[in-house]
Structure 1
Amino acid sequence: MNRPQREAAVRQIMERTVPRLPPELHTDAVRHGSRMLRRRTLARRLLWLLLWAAAVGFTVWAMVAEPWVEPPSETTPPLTGW
């Protein structure tokens, strides 16, 4: 298929009339879209809640465990009697 034939085929496709859509298609699409939006909003809120709970849990653990403090040495005996 050469270029003029392709252009003619494209023109023919573009000049066709638009097919009629069923009238209930719009309401179904709106209902489906709003349901998707609600689910997405709920998922986003749950993820933020999970992130907040993880941050609070980490903060509480860090304050209780104090991982930045070096544990006492258990390999050397304590110095007594100086």
Structure 2
Amino acid sequence: MNQPEREAAVRRMLERTPPVVPPGLYAEAVRRGGRMQRRRTAARRLLWCVLIAAAVAFVVWASLARPWVEPPSETTPPLTGW
């Protein structure tokens, strides 16, 4: 199909009367859209809560374990009896 044929096909489609939309379609679309938006908002809030909880858990673990401190050396025996 070349350019003029496509243009003619589009013109024919636009000249026809639009199909009849079912009466409850708009209300159903609004209802579903609202539900999807609420689910996305809830999922986003849940993910933020999980992220914050993970960050708090990491900070608590790091403050208790102190992984940045060098562990004491255990390769030499303690010096006693000097």
The corresponding residue for 1:64 is: 64
1:17 Cα deviation from its structure 2 partner? 1.4
The unaligned stretches of length 5 or more in structure 1 are none
Q: Give the distance between the partners of 1:5 and 1:54, measured in 2 at CA.
A: 60
1:4 Cα deviation from its structure 2 partner? 2.8
For the aligned residue pairs, the C-alpha RMSD in angstroms reads 1.5
How many residue pairs get aligned? The number is: 82
Q: Give the distance between the partners of 1:44 and 1:5, measured in 2 at CA.
A: 47
Aligned residue identity for 1:75: T
TM-score by length of 1: 0.87
The corresponding residue for 1:50 is: 50
The corresponding residue for 1:6 is: 6
3-state DSSP of counterpart to 1:20: coil
Q: Give the distance between the partners of 2:2 and 2:66, measured in 1 at CA.
A: 75
Structure 1 consecutive aligned stretches of length 4 or more whose deviation exceeds 3 Å:
79-82
TM-score by length of 2: 0.87
Identical aligned residues as a percent: 71
The unaligned stretches of length 5 or more in structure 2 are none
